[in-house]
Structure 1
Amino acid sequence: MRYLIFGDVHGNLPALEKLLKKEEGNFDQLISHGDVVNYGPWSNECVELLNDIPNTIRLKGNHEDAFLSGNYPGSNEVVKAFFEHCYRKFKKTNFIAEYQQMYDIKKFRVQHTISNEYIFPDTDISKMNIKRNYVIGHSHYQFDRIFENNRLINTGSIGQNRKFINLAEYIIVDEEKDILILKNFIYDVSLVINEMIAENFPKICIDYYKTKPQL
């Protein structure tokens, strides 16, 4: 089995569509590890697209949880502004309510994150009680780490890379060949920014995308 594993799409339809076109015919199963929604202008469309692809595993992230509860629990003013704008327009609650919490493949457990933590390439994970191999996301930083003989992979983010906003990251896991490949591509983030402007996103949201470094 060959898996295309990704997450943190965050309403970025152009990046998601480019991923699917780029990897067309190169996988047996899709696994989305959460946060399909919020931030970008196309939460509904991204949820619909993933729902229409057969044999796709769809997992919950913290932003699905927020949309399902109708409340963003954090204090970050930028995220609150995104949530208030995007949640009002979201119509696919019944779809994301069916998302799973985790999914196990041969060597890895795939889930949004571990213990609700943002795990970065340099995060001290010595106290996190990691006892198996994981594929996660959440922090929007791609990495491949070994800790006490366990492997911890972060796929990065398809829709909102924290280092370079126009870089989309994901992985391929090929069980037959026993390989895992970290992959990425560049997409046109101006498509997202222009749509945000057209949809009258708050200025704080538009400025967030405009000020991020690009490749």
Structure 2
Amino acid sequence: MRTLVYSDVHGNLPAFEKMLKAEEAYENYICLGDLVNYGPWSTECVELAISLSGSNIIMGNHEEAFINGYYPGENALVKEFFSVTYPGFNAIEKIKKFKEKIILNNFVCRHTILDQYIYPDTDVELRYDCLIGHSHHQFEYKNNGYILYNAGSVGQNRKYIDIINYLVYDWDKKCIKMKAMPYDIKPLINEMKNRGYSDNCIAYYQSKKRANLI
């Protein structure tokens, strides 16, 4: 049996759909949060995640922002994204049911730990094995006899914007595999233009590094 673990789709439906098409026939799925905001398809991504067989979904900070009706951070650009994505979102009651954490065998799955962004060079004392997202960087980290995997981001990879990252947990081998695949980001940017995103928001995606593997 295998479990597909993914995070930070951020309204990027084309990337989400490509990952699911490539990784068919999983017994269950775990989303580590942040299905919404940034991309144009927040509602569609929530609906698709919920529809998956054996789907378990953790609430990310962007789901919390949608529930509260405002983005609490100081980043002006994120607030610009929120001003476009939030008004048309119509799945509030559904995201209220998302969980704080999920247990996957010996792993505790959360959106993040210590309420912070965890990067490959972050010095953190682990107290249990965990799977997280939030920082949009995929990596493995060992400390204090425990292991942490960051799933990275499906829809907004901070290293290469046109790469999808996710994890696969193999129940028979009791191991995690970090996976990646390229996707075409042009449909995302075109839809942002169609929906009236600001020049700043569009420039954010256009300026990011690309692996250009397609």
* CA-to-aligned-CA distance 1:19-58 (integer Å, 9 cap, x gap): 1100002x21100010000000000100111122221001
Cα deviation for residue 2 of structure 1 reads: 1.3
Matches within 5 A, 1:1-215: 1-25=1-25, 27-126=26-125, 130-215=126-211
For residues 45 and 116 of structure 1, the distance between their equivalents in structure 2, rounded to whole angstroms, comes to 27
For residues 44 and 184 of structure 2, the distance between their equivalents in structure 1, rounded to whole angstroms, comes to 18
Deviates further, 135-144 or 176-185: 176-185
Q: Give the letter aligned to residue 94 of structure 1.
A: E
For residues 196 and 91 of structure 1, the distance between their equivalents in structure 2, rounded to whole angstroms, comes to 18
SS for the counterpart of 1:208 is helix
Q: TM-score scaled to structure 2, two decimals?
A: 0.97
For residues 184 and 95 of structure 1, the distance between their equivalents in structure 2, rounded to whole angstroms, comes to 29
SS for the counterpart of 1:5 is strand
For residues 88 and 203 of structure 1, the distance between their equivalents in structure 2, rounded to whole angstroms, comes to 19
SS for the counterpart of 1:121 is coil
* CA-to-aligned-CA distance 1:79-126 (integer Å, 9 cap, x gap): 010011111111110110110110001120111000210000001114
RMSD between aligned alpha carbons?
Answer: 0.8
Identity of aligned residues (%): 44
- The answer (yes or no) to whether the contact 2:66–2:86 under 8 Å persists in 1 is yes
For residues 14 and 74 of structure 1, the distance between their equivalents in structure 2, rounded to whole angstroms, comes to 27
SS for the counterpart of 1:123 is coil
Q: TM-score scaled to structure 1, two decimals?
A: 0.96
* CA-to-aligned-CA distance 1:134-162 (integer Å, 9 cap, x gap): 00000000000110110010000000000
Deviation >6 Å, runs of 4+: none
Q: Give the letter aligned to residue 161 of structure 1.
A: N
For residues 158 and 204 of structure 1, the distance between their equivalents in structure 2, rounded to whole angstroms, comes to 22
SS for the counterpart of 2:205 is helix
For residues 54 and 163 of structure 1, the distance between their equivalents in structure 2, rounded to whole angstroms, comes to 30
For residues 89 and 189 of structure 2, the distance between their equivalents in structure 1, rounded to whole angstroms, comes to 19
For residues 28 and 10 of structure 1, the distance between their equivalents in structure 2, rounded to whole angstroms, comes to 24
SS for the counterpart of 2:158 is coil
- The answer (yes or no) to whether the contact 2:27–2:53 under 8 Å persists in 1 is no
Q: Give the letter aligned to residue 190 of structure 1.
A: K
Q: Give the letter aligned to residue 91 of structure 1.
A: N
- The answer (yes or no) to whether the contact 2:8–2:133 under 8 Å persists in 1 is yes
Q: Structure 1 regions of 5+ residues with no counterpart?
A: none
The number of residue pairs the alignment matches comes to 211
Q: Give the letter aligned to residue 102 of structure 1.
A: K
For residues 52 and 152 of structure 1, the distance between their equivalents in structure 2, rounded to whole angstroms, comes to 28
